[in-house]
Amino acid sequence: MYVRRLELVDFRSYPRCVVEFEPGCSVLVGPNGVGKTNLVEALGYVSTLDSHRVATDAPLVRAGATSAVIRSEIVHEHRSLSVELAIEPGKANRARLGGSPVRRARDVLGALRMVLFAPEDLALVRGDPAERRNYLDHLLVARQPRYAGVRADYERVLKQRNALLRTAYLARKTGAGTRDLSTLDVWDVHLASHGAELLAARLELCAALGPHIAKAYDAVAAGRGRAGIAYRSRVPIEPADRESLSAALSAALVESRPSEVERGMTLVGPHRDDLLLTLGELPAKGYASHGESWSMALALRLAAYELLRTEGIEPVLALDDVFAELDAGRRERLAELVGSAGQLLITCAVAEDVPAALRGARYEVSEGEVHRA
């Protein structure tokens, strides 16, 4: 799989931009702040419908414009597929696949499989649990796009359940009396069902990722520590089949209901879970040095990339401003790990930061423009 063409209209800093890519390695070079990251961010958005830099769509639209458009042409197994996304903050995004409109934007997920590593990925190690949950869920969808629907169903039920709890909480706080919470039982059934499906998939994914994370960290850090991953939930996760997990979620919801009514929110479920990342016997968060945190974050992305490859998916790999943060040894080891990628996109401010083995096609990026060197 590789991206042959990317066109941006009013996306970030680009009024309009067209870039033609090839398989193999492509290096995007330019000073900081000229828009290199915007290019890989746009492709990441096609892959996940999320930005790795911001939580909302509004910053993706160029100042003064009302919408942005991303058009991409993706080649997979000698077949070309076009994907177009129209981003309109405050409205549902519109999408076209193969030139035809699709009912939901998420129907384009799976057209481009991509793994992107960026400086923001330090949050996978040092940040909030939501960062690690998103890492898992995006990888779930890359493996099997149907999990975008599972995730959406769970979030829809969670939103409805939280709204009911919040209404009751506010009524009690303002002296407006009590609210009928009998429908919570119905939402509990749906939450347990959708939550169990999502939870079972996450657990299976963690098990599959474990060996790849250990191997990637060992390679990047040159054997200086053993990296591990474990899933953490307030719900018993053994056994990990859907029926058992659904029963465990149902029981946990019953047990936590008094606290949930008191606080006005859902306190158990996959939306509250976390990943425990370890180096040796210690958790990486709070104990890892800056260099170790970088290596762990990089290992998480490389593990995702290798897992997809072992399952017959050849994703696009993007490294955004990575080499400047690595010492010479880590640069060379990373180059060895990614040199065989079907398509590798690298952004950098200084071309010499990129190991010689990865200096393929070169693109010069300036304010609003990209030119093949």
- Residue numbering of the annotated binding site for ATP: 30-37
Cβ distance 31 to 42 under 8 Å?
Answer: no
Distances in whole angstroms, Cα of residue 259 to Cα of each of 23, 250, 271: 54, 15, 17
Cβ distance 166 to 158 under 8 Å?
Answer: no
Query: How is residue 153 written in tokens?
Result: 């169903």
Residue 126 to residue 257: CA distance in whole angstroms: 31
- Residue list, annotated binding site: 30-37
Amino acid letter at 319? L
Cβ distance 320 to 40 under 8 Å?
Answer: yes
Residue 44 to residue 29: CA distance in whole angstroms: 19
Q: Which residue bears the tokens 């939103």?
A: 159
Residue 270 to residue 192: CA distance in whole angstroms: 10
3-state SS assignment for residue 65: coil
Torsion of CA 222, 223, 226, 229, to 10 degrees: 30
Strand ranges inside 102-203, DSSP E: 114-117
Distances in whole angstroms, Cα of residue 184 to Cα of each of 124, 162, 187, 261: 34, 10, 5, 10
- Give the closest residue to 199 by CA, choosing from 268, 256, 258: 268
Residue 328 to residue 331: CA distance in whole angstroms: 5
Query: How is residue 251 written in tokens?
Result: 């029981």
Cβ distance 23 to 2 under 8 Å?
Answer: yes
Cβ distance 112 to 163 under 8 Å?
Answer: no
**Cβ atoms within 10 Å, residue 174:** 8
3-state SS assignment for residue 109: coil
3-state SS assignment for residue 31: coil
